[in-house]
Homo-oligomer: A and B are copies of this chain.
């Protein structure tokens, strides 16, 4: 795919509804994301943050409404998308090839994974596995990021690193939507609350 110049990157959703397991989870969402902007998505458990993120990232077909994205999108969820049998570097290399971009070393180094480069991902601790998953955002070099609970399992340093990564991403005109329950230091980020968690059937 042609790499869209990050600057023009943006996203709009109008009257969006998303279903999961045959049930409408989120409904009537209107949302605009401008280049360089960040949205922190909050809400109680089961509110539909993950569902909404996946829909905005184009991984779930909307049940109703429309999504318009200028620029390529990357979703980074709770599942790290790593192969335990492959080493950290092998996982990174595979992603770099898929996205046809990114330098492995700089991404690995940025997330403090250098010591683990040759270790199988299956031997990483919770937090380091999370870091490896987040490294994919850097490799993708795509403008629109959708990140689900990035800092859960991360220690203070790693959380700070991630906040720095988001800041840099926005400086270059990238945009991000981040779902989290934790305090996240993202200056000037819009806070968006998902309410009325569905009462289960």
Contacts and interface: CB of A to CB of B under 8 A. Distances in A.
A181 B200 contact: no
Q: This chain: how many copies in the complex?
A: 2
Nearest to A49: B125
Contact of A128 (B46, B115, B116, B125): B46
A124 B200 CA distance: 10
Interface in A148-163: 149, 152-158
A127 B200 contact: no
Interface string A53-85: 000000000000000000000000010000000
Contacts of A50: 125-126
Interface string A86-113: 0000000000000000000000000000
Interface string A21-33: 1000000000000
Interface in A123-140: 123-128, 131
A181 B127 contact: yes
Interface residues of A, number: 31
A143 B84 CA distance: 35
Interface string A152-189: 11111110000000000000000000000110000000
B125 A46 contact: yes
Contacts of A123: 21
A158 to B, nearest CB: 6
Given A149-B152, A153-B181, 19 more contacts: A21-B123, A44-B155, A44-B157, A45-B127, A45-B131, A45-B153, A45-B154, A45-B155, A45-B158, A46-B124, A50-B125, A78-B126, A78-B153, A115-B200, A118-B201, A127-B181, A149-B153, A152-B152, A156-B181
A153 B180 CA distance: 8
16 contacts: A43-B155, A45-B127, A45-B128, A45-B131, A45-B153, A45-B158, A46-B127, A50-B126, A119-B200, A126-B149, A127-B181, A149-B153, A152-B152, A155-B181, A156-B181, A182-B182
